[in-house]
Amino acid sequence: MFNGAGTRWPAELTKLSHPANGLYNAVRDVVQGASCGCAEVFGATESVKACGVPIVKDHALAGTAGLLSLRRYMAEGWQTIVF
């Protein structure tokens, strides 16, 4: 999951010239998406979509386009890494 300013990362990580491109491609099939509201706030909605990363809106929140739920993914057994 990409959230916050991290929604800008898919556009960078998919560049062949990015040093982490190989690592990203190794885990790309398990990337679940990016927070819709965060992508909107950080101007990354179109680049996230262009990279093939799903836009996620688990929760409706007034004033946003919708936010993802990290709790949901953790409850499903996913491990999260935030950096």
- Digit-coded pLDDT (tens) for 16-64: 999 999 999 999 998 989 999 999 999 999 999 999 999 999 888 888 8
Residue 67 has a pLDDT of 82
Q: What is the pLDDT of residue 53?
A: 96
Using DSSP bridges, classify how beta strands 34-35 and 55-56 pair: parallel, antiparallel or unpaired.
parallel
Q: 1 pLDDT band (50/70/90 cuts)?
A: confident
Token code pair at residue 83: 């950096």
34 membership: H or E segment, kind and range = strand 34-35
Sign of torsion over alpha carbons 26, 31, 34, 35 = negative
pLDDT number for residue 60: 84
- Please name the residue that has the structure tokens 């499903």: 76
The pTM of the full predicted model, rounded to 2 decimals, is: 0.82
pLDDT band at 72 (very low <50, low <70, confident <90, very high): confident
Rounded CA-CA distance 14/59 in Å is 27
pLDDT at 66: 84
Contact criterion met (CB below 8 Å) for 33 and 70 = no
